């Protein structure tokens, strides 16, 4: 399979002035530090990292808005910052906090306008928009001014609008921000379906672990401008999840469980919630202690939520490297 | 489809978007009506005090019709500078750059779409006010034609200045001061409040040579005092200003884009 995105040693250093007058110094900040990765066409990738990690800088370079300081990148075999106009017809972008729909007009008008901006063939456009209207369930509010739509409806229309010109890659930046649980799930489902059925490459940034888990198969974590993890979501869980959470219900009062490597998260008369560090203590030994503590009615073993895994990875990367500000005077 | 055809569409959508919100439209009408009424009373007193039938070659009726045009032009101006300033500061500009279109032409199209609609509506409301209070003035078909020809050029000229001020957001912390200066200069030196004929004789040629009068005084004067040679004169001035300012905007925009490309806006 060919690569939709190919990045090699891509770096971006920002220069700015610090201070005023005589004390003014030139400061360089490395936003993206020689990162390399490839995304095969049709893959759904989550590109995540804490604020200021270099995510948007990377996306801006990949969409051609920003010129890198050094390194190479190819998006659909084009060099983004040299062939921005050509590339703009092949990529779509949704920025959760910046609407592309006209606020006072119904979504249909924005669709029409986009068909003109992208110079789409009329019959092709009509077929395409019909399909999107059906799949994103837009029909009921297609002729309602955007200002009267719920945020969930609006975001569905936003994503559909970004797909009108049949982009081969879609950059989704925080698409579910501010949505309620149901709307969030609906949007994720439709994005995932679109990725699987149409084979469009998805490049997702989000702070929401649920987005990442339900939309993407692969995750790249970036921090301080460097890639700290590049793996399948399932592997990430396994690798970083050395701990498990145990929920135990007892038939009657239980005695305490005190084992090295086990933290008691919650303990009430008939129930117990434990966090087990599997690198310190084996699960078998813990269960043995649990059974001895009382008459067990029910046990569930869970992975900690993905959010904790991500926080853990961010934390690790943060402690091993300090922010790099180099003064060059 | 040619790549130029998208811009009239953008203008059309902008015009429709502007009409969608009737509360806003109505409040502008009321403001225009009030302003015109105040001016009418002021000029009525002035003409009576001076005991003159004409001031600077304008009868009272002509004066009010002149003000209908200047106010319609001024009040039709969309907030271009603020919109561009906001696009720059919030990073929306980079979203626009991901599309296959030119950002300056996109803004020009939205401005023209919005402004033509607002201008026509202002003109209708203003004409009703003028008809009620001072009655019609003598208009010629040719006068109306050359007036209509001069208006779009005036709008483009005004757009170029506003767009440049908005781009100032790349270098300045706040562009509202600059905008305030420009808009006040246009109002006073451009002839919104009084026709340039009422300024001192030595100042008139200076004011006529400045770009402000090509936006406001020029078109309004043509409707009241139609004259082909005055129109040709105005057209040449408008076109030269547009040419110079276009080059300036192109330069400014390229410099600004370089900043986007190197610093991310």
Partners of residue A95 in chain B, C-beta under 8 Å: 95
| A77-120 pLDDT, tens digit each | 999 989 988 999 999 988 877 888 888 899 999 999 999 999 99
The distance of B25 to chain A (nearest Cα, Å) reads 13
- Interchain proximity B261–A66, CB inside 8 Å: yes
Q: Average the pLDDT over each of A292-306, B26-40, B221-235 and give the range with the smallest value.
A: A292-306
Q: Is B257 on the interface with A (CB under 8 A)?
A: no
Q: Which of residues 95-124 of A touch B (CB under 8 A)?
A: 95, 98, 100, 102-105, 109-110, 112-113, 116-119
On the 0-12 / 13-18 / 19+ scale of CB atoms within 10 A, B131 is middle
Q: What average pLDDT does the segment B22-30 reach?
A: 84
Q: Which residues of A83-103 are buried (b: 16+ CB within 10 A; e: fewer)?
A: bbeebbbbbbbbbbebbbbbe
Check residues B131 and B143 and name the one with the higher pLDDT: B131
Q: What's the pLDDT at A169?
A: 94
For residue B13, give the nearest of A57, A63, A105 by CB distance. A105
On the 0-12 / 13-18 / 19+ scale of CB atoms within 10 A, A311 is middle
- Interchain proximity B97–A14, CB inside 8 Å: no
CA nearest B101 in A: which residue?
A: A117
Q: What's the pLDDT at B2?
A: 53
Torsion of CA A65, A68, A73, A77, to 10 degrees: 40
**Tokens standing for B96?**
């626009």
Q: What's the pLDDT at B116?
A: 92
| B6-25 pLDDT, tens digit each | 999 999 999 988 887 778 78
- Interchain proximity B98–A118, CB inside 8 Å: no
Q: Domain boundaries in chain B?
A: 3-262
Cβ neighbors of A123 (< 8 A, separation 6 or more) are: none
Q: Average the pLDDT over each of A21-35, B37-51, B122-136 and give the range with the smallest value.
A: A21-35
- Name the nearest CA neighbour of A7 among A85, A61, A67, A86: A61
- Name the nearest CA neighbour of A170 among A194, A186, A187, A188: A194
For residue A113, give the nearest of B10, B21, B92 by CB distance. B10
DSSP H or E stretch at residue A212: helix A209-215
Q: What's the pLDDT at B178?
A: 92
Q: What's the pLDDT at B1?
A: 43
Find the distance separating the first CA and the last CA of chain A, reported in whole Å. 48
DSSP state of A22: G
- Tell me: pLDDT of A320 over 80: no
- Interchain proximity A63–B101, CB inside 8 Å: no
- Name the nearest CA neighbour of B75 among B38, B41, B109, B24: B24
Check residues A99 and A44 and name the one with the higher pLDDT: A44
- Interchain proximity A60–B1, CB inside 8 Å: no
For residue B260, give the nearest of A65, A85, A95 by CB distance. A65
- Interchain proximity A65–B97, CB inside 8 Å: yes
- Name the nearest CA neighbour of B134 among B191, B58, B70, B198: B58
The distance of A184 to chain B (nearest Cα, Å) reads 23
Q: What's the pLDDT at A241?
A: 67
The answer to whether the predicted template modeling score (pTM) of the entire model surpasses 0.90 is no
Q: What average pLDDT does the segment A143-151 reach?
A: 92
CA distance to A92, A264, B203, per residue, from A208 (Å): 21, 27, 65
């Amino acid at each position: 399979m060919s690569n939709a995105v190919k990045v090699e040693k891509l770096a971006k250093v920002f220069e700015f002035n610090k201070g005023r007058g005589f004390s003014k110094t030139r400061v360089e900040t490395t936003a993206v530090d020689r990162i390399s990765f490839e995304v095969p066409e049709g893959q759904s990738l989550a590109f995540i990292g804490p604020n200021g990690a270099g995510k948007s800088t990377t996306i801006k370079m990949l969409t051609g808005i920003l010129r890198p300081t050094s390194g190479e990148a190819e998006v659909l075999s084009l060099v983004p910052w040299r062939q921005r106009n050509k590339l703009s017809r092949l990529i779509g972008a949704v920025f959760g906090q910046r609407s592309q729909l006209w606020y006072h007009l119904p979504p249909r008008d924005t669709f029409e306008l986009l068909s003109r901006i992208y110079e789409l063939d009329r019959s092709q456009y009509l077929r395409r928009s019909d399909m999107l209207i059906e799949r994103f369930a837009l029909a009921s509010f297609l002729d309602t001014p955007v200002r009267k739509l719920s945020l969930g409806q609006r975001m569905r229309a936003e994503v559909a609008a970004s797909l009108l010109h049949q982009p081969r890659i879609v950059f989704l930046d925080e698409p579910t921000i501010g949505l309620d649980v149901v709307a969030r799930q609906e949007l994720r489902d439709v994005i995932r379906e679109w990725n699987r059925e149409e084979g469009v490459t998805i490049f997702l940034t989000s702070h929401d672990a649920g987005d990442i888990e339900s939309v993407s198969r692969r995750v790249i974590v970036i921090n301080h401008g460097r890639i700290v993890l590049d793996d399948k979501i399932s592997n990430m869980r396994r690798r970083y999840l050395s701990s498990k959470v145990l929920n135990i219900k007892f038939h009657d009062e239980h005695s305490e469980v005190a084992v090295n490597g086990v933290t008691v998260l919650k303990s009430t008369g008939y129930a117990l919630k434990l966090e087990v560090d599997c690198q310190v203590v084996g699960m078998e030994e813990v269960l043995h202690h649990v059974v001895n503590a009382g008459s067990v009615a029910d046990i569930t073993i869970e992975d900690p939520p993905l959010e904790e895994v991500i926080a853990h990875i961010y934390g690790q990367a943060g402690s091993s490297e300090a922010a790099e500000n180099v003064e060059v005077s | 489809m040619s790549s130029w055809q998208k811009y009239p569409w953008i203008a059309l959508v902008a015009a429709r978007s502007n009409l969608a919100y009737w509360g806003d439209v109505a409040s502008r009408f009321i403001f225009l009506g009030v302003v015109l009424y105040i001016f009418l009373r002021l000029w009525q007193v002035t003409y009576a005090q001076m005991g003159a039938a004409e001031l600077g070659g304008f009868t009272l009726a002509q004066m009010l019709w002149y003000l209908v045009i200047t106010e319609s032009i001024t009040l039709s101006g969309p907030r271009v500078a603020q919109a561009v300033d906001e696009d720059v500061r919030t990073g929306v500009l980079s979203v626009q750059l991901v599309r296959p279109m030119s950002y300056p032409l996109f803004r020009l199209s939205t401005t023209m779409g919005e402004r033509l609609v607002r201008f026509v509506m202002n003109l209708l409301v203003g004409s009703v006010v003028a008809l009620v209070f001072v009655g019609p003035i003598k208009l010629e078909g040719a006068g109306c034609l050359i007036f209509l020809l001069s208006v779009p050029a005036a709008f483009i000229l005004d757009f170029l200045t506003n767009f440049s001020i908005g781009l100032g957001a790349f270098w300045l912390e706040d562009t509202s001061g600059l905008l305030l200066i420009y808009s006040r200069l246009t109002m006073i030196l451009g002839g919104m409040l009084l026709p340039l004929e009422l300024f001192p004789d030595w100042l008139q040629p200076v004011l006529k040579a400045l770009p402000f009068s090509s936006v406001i005084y020029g078109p309004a004067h043509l409707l009241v005092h139609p004259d082909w040679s005055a129109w040709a004169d105005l057209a040449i001035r408008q076109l030269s200003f547009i040419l110079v300012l276009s080059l300036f905007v192109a330069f400014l925009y390229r410099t600004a884009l370089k900043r986007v490309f190197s610093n991310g806006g």
